[in-house]
Amino acid sequence: MQRIFSGIQPSGVPTLGNYLGAMRNWVPLQDTHDCIYCVVDLHAITQWQEPAQLATQTREMAASLLACGIDPRRSILFLQSQVAAHVRLAWIFECVARLGWLNRMTQFKDKAGRNTENVSAGLYTYPVLMAADILAYKATRVPVGDDQRQHLELANDIAQKFNHDYGTEFFPAIEGLIMGPAARVMSLRDGSKKMSKSDPSDQSRINLNDSADDIAQKIRRAKTDPEPLPSELQGLEGRPEARNLVGIYAALADTDHASVLREWGGQGFAAFKPALADLLVAKLEPIAMEARRLLADSAYVDQVLREGAERAAAIADPIVAEAMRLVGFLKT
C-alpha cells in the first residue's frame, strides 16, 4: 500500500477551503492507502500564536479531523511537535536546500508581504520542514490544496539533491494529490484571494463551526456579479466569484462545475445562493456537532493523539536514523 502523509496548521478554525481542498479528501484515501495525518503545530508558530489559544486550537483541529471521518483505527493522527524526527530531518534538509530555491516560494512572499526583514526565519524555511514531514515517513502521496503545489516540488528537489549528494536512492519521489472541483477555494469577498483562516475579515470565509445563520448570511453577502449563471463552462471565464461559488457547490454535491451549470444555467444568484447555503449547512452542521461532542471529552482526543504520536515515531525514527547515518553522523 502506498503511504499518504498530509498536514494542517492549527492556526485557527478550519475553513471551507481546508475542508474542500484537503480534509474531506483525506477520508476516502483511508480505504486504499496507509494514511498518516498530522496537525502541524510547529508550522503554526512560524507566525505568532497566543500559547493558550494554540493549545485550544490544536485540540479543536484534531477533533474536527475526527469529526470529518478520520478514523484512528485505520489512520495515524498526531501532533507534529510530539515526534522529534520531524525537526531532526528538517535540520538536515535545511543544509540540503539552497537559498535560491527558498527565494522562489510564492507563499512566503504572500505571507511576508512588504515585511520581509521582520518575519520569522521559520516562516522562510517552512517548506523545508514540510519536506521533512513527508519524507520522515517516506510517504509518496500527499493530498493537499492547490496552494501547496510549489512546496511539493521543493520537497522533491530536496529529496533528489539529498539522494544525489549522498550517493543513495534513499528518499522516494513524492506525488501531490490535488483533488476535486474546489482545490482552490477563494475568499467570499474577493475572488482573486484564497480563502484563509488568517484573513482579517471573518466575512471572507466559512468556518467549519459557523452556525446555519452565519453561513446563510455570509453566502447572501458573498461578492458576485449581476449576470445570471452561464450554462457552459466557458461562461465562467473572467467571473472568479461565480466560478468559486459554483466550485463550492460542485464539491459539496459530489459533482463538477459543468453539471452544476447544466442545472443552474440561466438562473440568478438570488436563486443559487440560498440553495448553496442550504447545501453548506446540510454538509457542515453534522461535522460541527460531532466535533463539539468529541471536545466535551477532551481526554479521548488527547489519547488518540498520544497513541498516534507513538505509532508515527515508530515509523519515522528508523527512517531518520538511517538518514543521519547516511549524512555521516557518528552513532556511538
Which DSSP string do the residues of 188-249 spell out, in sequence order?
Answer: SS-TTSB--TT-S-GGG--BTT--HHHHHHHHHHS---SSPPPSSGGGGTT-HHHHHHHHHH
Given ligand AMP, ligand TRP, none, residue 18, with its beta carbon under 5 to 8 Å by kind, binds ligand AMP
Contact residues toward ligand AMP (CB under 6 A) are: 8-9, 17-18, 21-22, 144-145, 147-148, 183-185, 194-195, 197
Kindly state whether residue 9 participates in binding ligand TRP, applying the rule CB under 6 A. yes
Beta-bridge mates of residue 36: 5, 76
DSSP letter (8 states) at residue 118:
S
What's the farthest any 2 CA atoms get from each other in the chain?
73
Q: Is 245 within 8 Å of 276 (Cβ atoms)?
A: yes
273 is annotated as an active-site residue: no
Helical packing angle, 85-94 and 121-135, nearest 10°? 110
Kindly state whether residue 196 participates in binding ligand TRP, applying the rule CB under 6 A. no
Of the residues 111, 138, 193, 223, only one is catalytic, namely 111
Q: Which of the stretches 127-135, 204-212, 226-234, 260-268 binds ligand TRP when contact is defined by CB under 6 A? A: 127-135
Of the residues 161, 193, 194, 273, only one is catalytic, namely 194
Helices and strands in the chain, H and E counts: 14, 5
Measured from the CB atom, the residue of 102 and 212 that comes closer to ligand TRP is 102
Given ligand AMP, ligand TRP, none, residue 133, with its beta carbon under 5 to 8 Å by kind, binds ligand TRP
Of the residues 109, 197, 273, 283, only one is catalytic, namely 197
Main-chain phi, psi angles of 36, to 5 degrees: -125, 120
Q: Which of 44, 130, 188, 245 binds ligand TRP (CB under 6 A)?
A: 130
Given ligand AMP, ligand TRP, none, residue 86, with its beta carbon under 5 to 8 Å by kind, binds none
Given ligand AMP, ligand TRP, none, residue 191, with its beta carbon under 5 to 8 Å by kind, binds none
Kindly state whether residue 64 participates in binding ligand TRP, applying the rule CB under 6 A. no
Among 89, 82, 178, which residue's Cα sits nearest to residue 130? 89
Select the residue whose beta carbon is closest to ligand AMP and give its number. 21
223 is annotated as an active-site residue: no
Tell me, by CB under 6 A, how many residues bind ligand TRP: 14
| CA separation for the pair 272, 248 (Å, rounded) | 12
Q: How many residues comprise the chain?
A: 332
Kindly state whether residue 40 participates in binding ligand TRP, applying the rule CB under 6 A. yes
Neighbours of 40 (CB within 10 A): 24
The residue written with cell numbers 460542485 in the block is: 250
194 is annotated as an active-site residue: yes
Binding site residues, ligand TRP, CB under 6 A: 5-9, 40, 43, 130, 133-134, 142, 144, 148, 151
Active site residue ranges: 111, 194, 197
